């Protein structure tokens, strides 16, 4: 029974990794770009929800927000931050340096944004973890000895709903067809009338939305946030994305769940100290056996979303 409980816990934890891994997959699959700001956007959502619920807007503009508004405001904040990153990574850097360095320079500049945002949060609110008592809640369901927490079930349902909706948008909507055309060949897409200048920000908006939802779901589930919360989640989401397959939405789902389950089973059998060894050992083994990932393709960023 305890082993089944750990498997369920792994699936619930994996749902957080899934949402962040899908955010990474969007930029990899369409733009062939590893967006290093994604862990920081995840952190910004959790910390933003905590700050809005406790203090309200900065500079004394308003009092504490009710927790539903705090959560919604945190997601909006994360989307806005993601659009700022798009403006000063892709749009500005591409215009300044051209296509020859379009992948390397945005990658480095996104790393700069990661460090700036994270350290601004540390300066403003300190480095200690913060409790989310004002907006955390817990309803435990007991199924013949198996304990399921309502926030965990909601996280899993939201993650799967997001992935299913995103898959439908990419396959059946005009925006999705445009994004897949850009992933296949940006120059040919522009010749055919696809406005990449309008669609690339859509990728960053979706990235901000995914990170925002993941951040608040994590905050509700664990009742705690900190300026460093995105680092471990982001690294394991990348591991899940690679194991599942670069550029594959459902590969990110599979990989995120594998990482979550592997983490919980490792804690159960070997203890928490060995989690990092098992997770990264699993990643290395996957790279040796199937470098493209379980559901991935050999060509990344070539219309394989």
Q: pLDDT tens digits, the chain, 305 residues: what are they?
A: 677 888 888 888 888 999 999 999 988 888 778 888 999 999 999 999 998 888 877 666 677 888 888 899 999 999 999 999 888 877 766 666 555 445 567 777 788 888 888 899 999 888 889 888 655 556 777 777 677 777 778 878 888 888 888 888 888 888 888 888 877 777 777 777 777 778 888 889 999 999 999 998 888 888 889 999 998 899 999 999 999 988 888 999 999 999 999 999 998 888 888 999 999 999 999 889 888 888 876 554 444 56
Q: Could you tell me if residue 161 is inside a domain?
A: yes
DSSP assignment of 19-57 equals: HHHHHHHHHHHHH----TTHHHHHHHHHHHHHHHHHT-S
Q: How far apart are CA 65 and CA 241, in angstroms?
A: 35
Number of domains in the chain: 1
Q: How far apart are CA 75 and CA 41, in angstroms?
A: 9
pLDDT of residue 114: 86
Alpha carbon 100 to its chain's center: 28
Q: Could you tell me if residue 262 is inside a domain?
A: no
Alpha carbon 15 to its chain's center: 10
Alpha carbon 44 to its chain's center: 12
pLDDT of residue 39: 93
Q: Could you tell me if residue 264 is inside a domain?
A: no
pLDDT of residue 240: 92
pLDDT of residue 302: 46
Backbone angles phi, psi at 89, to 5 degrees: -110, -70
Alpha carbon 67 to its chain's center: 22
pLDDT of residue 259: 94
> Can you tell me whether residue 141 is helix, strand or coil?
strand
Cβ neighbours of residue 110 closer than 8 Å, sequence gap 6 or more: 35, 36, 37, 85, 89
Domain housing 133: 11-230
Q: How far apart are CA 209 and CA 206, in angstroms?
A: 5
Q: Could you tell me if residue 27 is inside a domain?
A: yes
Q: Could you tell me if residue 249 is inside a domain?
A: no
Sequence-separated contacts (24+) of 166-169 with Cβ below 8 Å:
166/22, 166/206, 166/249, 167/249, 167/250
- Least Cα distance to 46 among 207, 234, 223, 232 occurs for 223
Q: Could you tell me if residue 215 is inside a domain?
A: yes
pLDDT of residue 101: 47
Q: How far apart are CA 225 and CA 5, in angstroms?
A: 25
Q: Are 134 and 233 in contact (CB under 8 A)?
A: no
- pLDDT (tens digit, 9 = 90+) per residue, 38-96? 999 999 999 999 988 888 776 666 778 888 888 999 999 999 999 998 888 777 666 66
Q: Could you tell me if residue 287 is inside a domain?
A: no
Q: Could you tell me if residue 121 is inside a domain?
A: yes
pLDDT of residue 303: 43
């Amino acid at each position: 029974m305890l082993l089944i409980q750990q498997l369920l816990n792994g699936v619930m934890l994996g749902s957080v990794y899934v949402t962040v891994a899908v955010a990474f997959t969007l930029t990899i699959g369409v733009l062939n770009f590893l967006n290093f700001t994604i862990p920081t956007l995840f952190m910004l959502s959790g910390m933003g929800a905590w700050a809005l619920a406790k203090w309200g807007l900065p500079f004394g503009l308003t009092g504490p927000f009710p927790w539903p508004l705090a959560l919604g405001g945190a997601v909006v904040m994360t989307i806005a931050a993601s659009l700022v990153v798009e403006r000063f990574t892709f749009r500005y850097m591409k215009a300044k340096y051209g296509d020859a360095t379009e992948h390397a320079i945005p990658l480095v500049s996104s790393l700069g944004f990661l460090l700036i945002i994270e350290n601004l949060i540390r300066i403003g609110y300190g480095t200690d973890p913060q409790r989310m008592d004002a907006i955390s809640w817990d309803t435990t369901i007991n199924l013949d000895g198996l304990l399921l927490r309502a926030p965990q079930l909601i996280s899993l349902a939201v993650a799967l709903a997001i992935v299913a909706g995103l898959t439908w948008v990419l396959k059946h909507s005009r925006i999705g067809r445009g994004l897949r055309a850009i992933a296949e060949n940006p120059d040919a897409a522009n010749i055919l009338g696809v406005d990449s200048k309008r669609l690339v920000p859509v990728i960053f908006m979706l990235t901000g939305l995914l990170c925002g939802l993941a951040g608040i779901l994590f905050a509700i589930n664990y009742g705690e946030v900190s300026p460093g919360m995105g680092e471990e989640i982001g690294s394991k989401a990348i591991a899940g994305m690679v194991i599942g397959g670069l550029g594959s939405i459902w590969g990110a789902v599979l990989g995120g769940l594998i990482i979550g389950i592997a983490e919980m089973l490792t804690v159960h059998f070997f203890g928490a100290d060995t989690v990092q060894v098992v997770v990264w050992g699993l990643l290395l083994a996957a790279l040796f056996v199937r470098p493209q990932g379980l559901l991935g393709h050999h060509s990344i960023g070539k219309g394989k979303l």
